[in-house]
Amino acid sequence: MTRFSAPIAEQIWDMKYRLKDAAGSVLDGTVEDTWRRIARALAEPEAEPALWEDRFYAALEGFKYLPAGRIIAGAGTGRAVTLFNCFVMGTIPDDMAGIFQMLKEAALTMQQGGGIGYDFSTIRPRGAEVKGVAADASGPLSFMDVWDAMCRTIMSAGSRRGAMMATMRCDHPDIENFIDAKKDPARLRMFNLSVLVTDPFMAAVKADGPWDLQFGGKVYKTLQARDLWMRIMRSTYDVAEPGVIFIDRINAMNNLNYCETIAATNPCGEQPLPPYGACLLGSINMATLVADPFGPGAALDMDKLDDLVRLAIRMMDNVVDASRFPLPEQAAEAQAKRRIGLGVTGLADALLMVGLRYGSAEAAAQTEAWMKAIARASYLASVGLAQEKGPFPLFDAEAYLASGSLTQMDADVRDAIRQHGIRNALLTSIAPTGTISLYAGNVSSGIEPVFAYAYTRKVLQKDGSRTEEEVVDYAVRLWREKFGDTPLPDYFVNAQTLPPLDHVRMQAAAQKWVDSSISKTINCPADISFEDFADVYMAAWDQGCKGCTTYRPNDVTGSVLTVSETADSAPVPAATPMPDEGGEVVYLSEPLDRPAALEGATYKVKWPGSEHALYITINDIIIAGHRRPFEVFINSKNMEHFAWTVALTRMISAVFRRGGDISFVVEELKAVFDPRGGAWMEGRYIPSILAAIGGVIERHLVAIGFIAGEGLGLKSDPKAEVVAVGAKGKSCSSCGSYDLRMVEGCMTCASCGFSKCG
């Protein structure tokens, strides 16, 4: 017997969360072992660890409470990792030394796997005077390019894929360039971008009034606010960025507005955080709490919900004490406020089980009621922890209760906080749950609608063929078990067929009782008019949302891929790709057999000072119409190179034939330094001839679409003369496939579960 309801769920657990030693030997024999490991680790701070370990295990059992992936993978392992998901770094000083100190701190945080956010509004605009050096400032975007390169370098060193958020105020003089930055498909690929939109700006937009762009008290330019707003809309319509963050609303509603100011968020936007702020995440799996699904008595069990929330809050509070932090400033900030972010997943599935159409007024009202119940239980649980263990150190009862978020809380909860204090300054957040929702049996992600009722996942076999495996939505599977092949009711809707304003309605309903923010993508059809698209953002503002993120398929971020199979009579949904992420599983237990003929490309590299050139041939295999590298040949007339080129040829080819993510080959080769010295090629220093070979392989992988772009290690590749090139396509950097979708602001792979957000 297995606890997993689908093969993909077990594979996600094995690849991402199952504890293994350095040699790859399994330490978590079953998922029950994983739950026990987490429960034991999070019970350690308790006075009675054995008692709480069993209770925590019960919450984890059956995927009812889902800690964030970093906690599932890291808790109880003894490894020096952070269990926190997201960080906003310190305020960037407007001087060179301070800027690069912030860059160092970002690198240290990302090295431990933390996603980071930065506000670049504090850097003087391009062309501003730099006193004392007789020069003009290069502006914040030039430094963002440096951050982008740092993130790629950290990835090249073997750390997990980086994720960064860059924000800029709507009144910064460089805001127009910031808005347009991602129109260049090769620029700032490691960043998500969002504009910090203020209340006065929105008032000026509504009134079609003037708007000053200023820095340090100096007005650099005046333009019409509505023109700037429509410029944001046009860029987002064309290239899906920047997002919009209503920053004044966030600060007004912040429980801690009396002791902190927020100017940035984590990469997916669900956690607005102060300088050095950190937050950990977890989700209640709403789909597991519905009694009599699809039956006459279908309803969410509110008592079970209340009990589960209280246990989850206690577990998350203990993570604050159990976790390591990349920087001491982050540890101090977390301890001072004990901020946590409990959210939900499986909401759309739960609504389906009780017979409600996602996006309808009835579903929005039910969502608001459920989220209020979670908020009440969370706050009362934290009050109980304050009685037992003390409130968070910066707690000030009257100031705390006067914050915008607390003014709408029920009187009995406010009275309890006033009398006893509260353990955690903020408690609720809705984070991306793409990977953990697959791990939990393919429940709907976060508060998103069901993306696909069913799709076909192709699994690569050793002979190059693929077997097909159906991946079914959790609620659809329950429907099938109960009603067989009966067609799905008409209240089953999906992300692609749902009108955009219904997305906004659901986000606004959930936001009312979420004290942080929400990671949600409003999927828009490719043919939506620009005017209707812009109305989505204004609706988000008018309905009280704290931000807005949309996705419309476009030439820069990709076209729509059709989900390959439907369930029953459900409409055919679509998956939305992005250059960086997504894909099908191509990890193999045995190497592929070589076909009789392969297509490829040959490259010539002339290493300075060497009499003979290297010729590098890379051949590709075509699988399901897409190319991936299969073998490499490295040839030279210089016999001194013979042994190592043959060895390199065989080893790299063997790696390629095993499938999976082979981009590390590029990263490893480009990191090799020759102690005798490298060489300058096309104005760049290449540290070794092996690094030059790595650069050639990288260029080839970009040409065939296996990776999104150059610069994963060094900023440019060595000189390479292409003799023949192959077709282009896009694939998952984790597993090499092409089944991509945008969910909760993150590109997510439907087959292997990989996402930019982890």
Residue positions annotated with a catalytic role: 266, 268, 270
- Structure-block tokens of residue 467: 């077997």
Q: At 430, which helix (H) or strand (E)?
A: none
What does the H/E/C string look like for 526-587? Answer: CCCCHHHHHHHHHHHHHCCCCEECEECCECCCECCEECCCCCCCCCCCEECCCCCCCCCCCE
Q: How many CA atoms lie within 13 A of 466 on its CB side?
A: 19
Residues in the chain, overall count: 758
CA 332 from centroid of its chain's CA atoms: 25
Cα dihedral across residues 8, 9, 11, 16: positive or negative = positive
Locate all alpha helices (DSSP H) within 112-191, ordered by sequence: 140-156, 175-180
DSSP state of 506: H
Helices 361-389 & 411-420 angle (0-180, nearest 10): 20
Strand partners, 119: 167
Do 606 and 613 touch, CB atoms closer than 8 A?
Answer: yes
Q: Which residues contact 458 (CB under 8 A, 6 or more apart)?
A: 466, 467, 468, 469, 584, 624, 737, 739, 751
Contacts 24+ apart (CB under 8 A), 712-715: 712/152, 712/155, 712/156, 712/663, 712/666, 712/667, 712/670, 713/152, 713/153, 713/156, 713/666, 713/667, 713/670, 713/671, 714/670, 714/684, 714/686, 715/149, 715/684
**DSSP reduced 3-state for 146:** helix
The Cβ of residue 91 has, within 10 Å, a number of other Cβ atoms equal to 18
Burial class (CB in 10 A: 0-12, 13-18, 19+), 284: buried
Residue 715, burial from CB neighbour count under 10 angstroms (0-12, 13-18, 19+): exposed
Helix (H) or strand (E) holding 310: helix 302-322
Strands 191-197 and 210-215: unpaired
Measure the CA–CA gap between 293 and 577, rounded to whole angstroms: 33
Q: Distance between CA atoms of 172 and 125, rounded to whole angstroms?
A: 8
Q: Which of 7, 732, 134 is nearest to 441 (CA)?
A: 7
For residue 675, whether the previous peptide bond is cis, meaning omega lies within 30 degrees of 0, is no
- C-alpha closest to that of 641 among 605, 666, 594: 605
Given a contact cutoff of 8 angstroms between Cβ atoms, the answer to whether 281 and 429 are in contact is: yes
What is the SS3 assignment for 460?
Answer: strand
